[in-house]
């Protein structure tokens, strides 16, 4: 695939998701020939930070193949230094013009955080606390509106955090990067970009 700008990359993702949601997937760029083409390097056209939920694999949700997406996954698409570093690498070294933060309906990490906020629960003493701490501001803001609102708020928070990163902000200011949020609906298979 030829190098794309952010608008064309977003259109590719939207077309792929439309195929996926309609059950008309093409499974592009997944054969032996494509694997051989990529042995010497990669040129993904988008980076996707998505939830680690097994029902939300970005390559399938967007009907994309090998070497097309640079994917980083964590529960609740939570940022950490290694996650941010991975995304910075995708932008600075691989030249991805589009970075998508992909949340999803019925997110267990967001639900668990909403439950902890509602219950006034203290730390569990596990590394899960770092997920809850990261999602907590969105869960608190959306407490009265429910899980879907908390999912959207969490996506918005992560987009804002990425936009505030010096390296990513510089790429965006130079017109080399667009950062967008999106939410995947588990029932319909559709992605709504924000």
- Reported confidence tier of residue 83, pLDDT bands at 50, 70, 90: very high
C-alpha closest to that of 169 among 91, 94, 80, 83: 91
Residues 176-188, mean pLDDT to the nearest whole number: 98
| Phi/psi at 13 (5° precision) | -65, -40
Which pLDDT value is given to residue 194?
87
Domain 6-193 coded CATH 3.40.1050.10:
yes
Alpha carbon distance 150, 45 (integer Å): 29
Asked whether residue 90 carries a pLDDT value surpassing 80, the answer given is: yes
pLDDT digits (tens, 9 = 90+) for 158-174: 999 999 999 999 999 99
Asked whether residue 1 carries a pLDDT value surpassing 70, the answer given is: no
Which pLDDT value is given to residue 2?
65
User: Are 166 and 157 in contact, with CB atoms under 8 Å apart?
Assistant: no
Which pLDDT value is given to residue 148?
97
pLDDT digits (tens, 9 = 90+) for 124-158: 999 999 999 999 999 999 989 999 999 999 999 99
pLDDT digits (tens, 9 = 90+) for 105-121: 999 999 999 999 999 99
Which pLDDT value is given to residue 160?
98
User: Are 97 and 104 in contact, with CB atoms under 8 Å apart?
Assistant: no
Domain residue ranges of the chain, discontinuous segments joined by +: 6-193
């Amino acid at each position: 695939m030829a190098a794309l700008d952010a608008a064309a990359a977003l259109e590719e993702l939207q077309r792929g998701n439309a195929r996926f949601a309609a059950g008309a997937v093409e499974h592009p760029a997944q054969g032996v020939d494509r694997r051989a083409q990529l042995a010497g390097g990669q040129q993904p056209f988008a980076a996707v930070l998505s939830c680690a939920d097994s029902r939300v694999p970005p390559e399938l949700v967007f009907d994309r193949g090998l070497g097309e997406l640079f994917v980083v996954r964590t529960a609740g698409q939570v940022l950490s230094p290694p996650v941010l570093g991975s995304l910075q690498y995708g932008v600075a070294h691989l030249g991805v013009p589009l970075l998508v933060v992909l949340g999803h309906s019925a997110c267990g990490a967001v639900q668990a955080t909403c439950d902890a906020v509602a219950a006034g629960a203290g730390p569990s003493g596990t590394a899960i606390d770092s997920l809850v701490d990261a999602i907590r501001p969105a869960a608190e803001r959306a407490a009265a509106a429910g899980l879907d609102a908390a999912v959207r708020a969490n996506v918005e928070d992560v987009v804002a955090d990425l936009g505030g990163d010096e390296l990513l902000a510089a790429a965006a200011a130079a017109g080399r990067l667009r950062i967008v949020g999106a939410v995947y609906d588990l029932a319909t298979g559709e992605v709504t970009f924000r």
